[in-house]
A and B are shown apart, each in its own frame.
Chain A
Amino acid sequence: MSSATRTLVSPATLARPRGKVLYWTVFGAVVVLFTLAFLFPVYWMVTGAAKSPDEVAQTPPTLVPEHWHTGAFTDAWDLMQLPRHLWNTVVQAAGAWAFQLVFCTAAAYALSKLRPAFGKVILGGILATLMVPAQALVVPKYLTVADLPILHTSLLNDPLAIWLPAVANAFNLYLLKRFFDQIPRDVLEAAEIDGAGKLRILWSIVLPISRPVLGVVSIFALVAVWQDFLWPLMVFSDTDEQPISVALVQLSQNIQLTVLIAAMVIASIPMVALFLVFQRHIIAGISAGSTKG
């Protein structure tokens, strides 16, 4: 497609023979650089899992596996109990996503449209948590989860330990609120005159309009849980409850290299697949989010 916008180098310069040669040289160099820097490590991982244990340890290494073994993948699947850990991760991510969608959306809607008393104070309190980097608070957060105030129950080794703290996501909540703020009030008031309740308005007017921002929040929510390490490491001491990230590290000590690499490949597939499917939206989301601050 024609991208007519003028960039650093003028189209006139590029049209000249010397410009063309230079352009294609740079282009080729960038292709090689990107392939080596970003694709090759991934290629190395996938082929490493397909090599025999001897071949992986061999120097100099082979670029392409002599034989493509699938044994490491099946071993990883069975020995490292990957189905269980993958399932744990899915449950944790899906729950965090659902909780965030329900509670963050409801709260953002209330703050944006329902004019609660002290709404400004609450919003200020929520935005203030953006200034408190999450990781610096993991220890007191862990102590809270281990012994919830008033209820005095422990959420350790329970997916709720992921789901509930996930709701306290100021970034996503603010993103939703800002989107809701742009919905004109008269649209909602018209619905109210027609007799629709607040929940009805949220469900059948606000949410359908907000599909793009809900998509962005969903992806952020899923990726955040799938990629997290320190928090699940703290709250899931029970091996059976651990997500894939924690299990990989815990098991990496006493397992054959090829099996570990195969497990790493398997652990990467869901997010990479998600990315490849939604790459346009994800990349557009990152770009848009940044320029709008």
Chain B
Amino acid sequence: MTKTAERRPAQAKAVHPVPAPPPAGDRRRRRLAEQARAYAFLLGGLICFALFSWYPAIRAVVIAFQKYTPGNPPEWVGTANFTHVLHDPEFAAAWRNTLTFTVLALLIGFAVPFVLALVLNELRHAKAFFRVVVYLPVMIPPVVSALLWKWFYDPGAGLANEALRALHLPTSNWTNGTDTALVSLVLVATWANLGGTVLIYLAALQSIPGELYEAAELDGANLLQRVRHVTIPQTRFVILMLMLLQIIATMQVFTEPFVITGGGPESATVTVLYLIYKYAFLYNDFGGACALSVMLLVLLGVFSAVYLRLTRSGSGEEYA
């Protein structure tokens, strides 16, 4: 990778022939020196991208078709990794859990921040307080939030059940029940990440011109109608963007299940990324791990492509 990077300035000559006046040799040398300088600045970044982004992406695809254990020469095995990963009983569970997690995180983590931002935007007092408080959980390390909620969910002296008891409500198994575990984790993730979403929505709400609301009110639109016909259309682009970003982020969820439930009970909270981790570090099966990575990559790549296309066309509109 480094070699090609260094060679590029020379090739550049072939691509951009100098449409130059007389002192061609001189000019050529100066151009070459300029290119060398430009690449000197680029080199560090380029090497890092090559080593830690581009090369691993290619390698994921290659190793997915190999039997790979570190230290041994890799063996080509065709699609064997894919077939044995597909036959793993945890495979279906991991995908089902990841998708359920994503959908639940969208339902909760999507409507709630929007409503919160709507309300916050109307409040004229203690603005800084609300912004700081809502963003505070985001700044707490995710591992700490996970451990904190693991303690809250403790069936014995955990805060969650204590709160339910204090309200005379039936207690829950939270992360210990196969049917409640995943939802419990979604709650943690929502608590920990909601602040960022709220702040972004708030910024979007503040960019809505006030005249639109005035006009709507003059036309007799009530509060809900104003939300429906002014606020939502005006923030549609941001909503869509955040939705896609959230899908991409939650599809890669790992910390919460790893720390809080360890994938249990009965693989009720094993996610795709968790399964990748298990294949690599528990089963020492890097081929299987890469086969899973490729599947996740393809799916997320589609979402990312949509996201990038939307942001591009969106900012195009903005600057047009």
A and B associate = yes
Interface residues of A (CB under 8 A from B): 3, 5-10, 23, 26-27, 30-31, 34-35, 37-39, 41-42, 44-45, 48, 56-61, 102-104, 106-111, 114-119, 122, 125-127, 129-133, 135-150, 164-165, 167-168, 170, 173, 198, 202, 223, 226-227, 229-230, 234, 244-246, 248-249, 252, 257, 260-261, 264, 267-268, 271-272, 274-276, 279, 282-283, 286-288, 290-293
Q: Is the CB of A164 within 8 A of B56?
A: no
Interchain residue pairs A-B with the least CB separation, the first 3: A6-B210, A117-B12, A107-B45
Q: Is the CB of A198 within 8 A of B135?
A: no
B:182-218 near A, CB below 8 Å: 191, 195-196, 199-200, 202-207, 210-211, 213-214, 217
Q: Is the CB of A8 within 8 A of B223?
A: yes
Q: Is the CB of A9 within 8 A of B241?
A: no
Q: Is the CB of B137 within 8 A of A139?
A: no
B:236-294 near A, CB below 8 Å: 238, 241, 248, 251-252, 254-255, 258-259, 273, 276-277, 279-281, 286, 289-290, 293
Name 28 A/B residue pairs within 8 A (Cβ), A-sorted.
A8-B226, A10-B217, A26-B122, A27-B126, A41-B159, A42-B140, A59-B156, A60-B166, A61-B157, A102-B44, A107-B44, A117-B16, A117-B38, A119-B38, A133-B252, A136-B276, A139-B293, A140-B55, A170-B49, A230-B273, A249-B143, A264-B148, A268-B140, A275-B136, A283-B131, A287-B200, A287-B202, A291-B207
Chain B residues whose CB sits within 8 angstroms of the CB of A227 once the complex forms: 141-142
A168 to B125, CA, bound (A): 42
B72 in the interface (beta carbon within 8 A): no
- Chain A residue nearest to B315 in the complex (CB): A293
A271 to B45, CA, bound (A): 27
Chain A at the B interface: SS class: helix
A147 and B16 in contact, given A57-B156, A122-B46, A135-B273 (Cβ under 8 angstroms): no
Q: In whole Å, how far is B246's beta carbon from the nearest beta carbon of chain A?
A: 12
A145 to B126, CA, bound (A): 48
Contact of B123 among A30, A132, A249 (CB under 8 A): A30
Number of A-B contacts (CB under 8 A): 324
A261 to B152, CA, bound (A): 12
Chain A residues whose CB sits within 8 angstroms of the CB of B290 once the complex forms: 139-140
Chain A residues whose CB sits within 8 angstroms of the CB of B223 once the complex forms: 8-9
Q: Is the CB of B297 within 8 A of A30?
A: no
Contact of B53 among A5, A48, A132, A282 (CB under 8 A): A132
Q: Is the CB of A106 within 8 A of B45?
A: yes
Q: Is the CB of A143 within 8 A of B293?
A: no
A282 to B49, CA, bound (A): 27
Q: In whole Å, how far is A140's beta carbon from the nearest beta carbon of chain B?
A: 4
Q: Is the CB of B38 within 8 A of A115?
A: yes
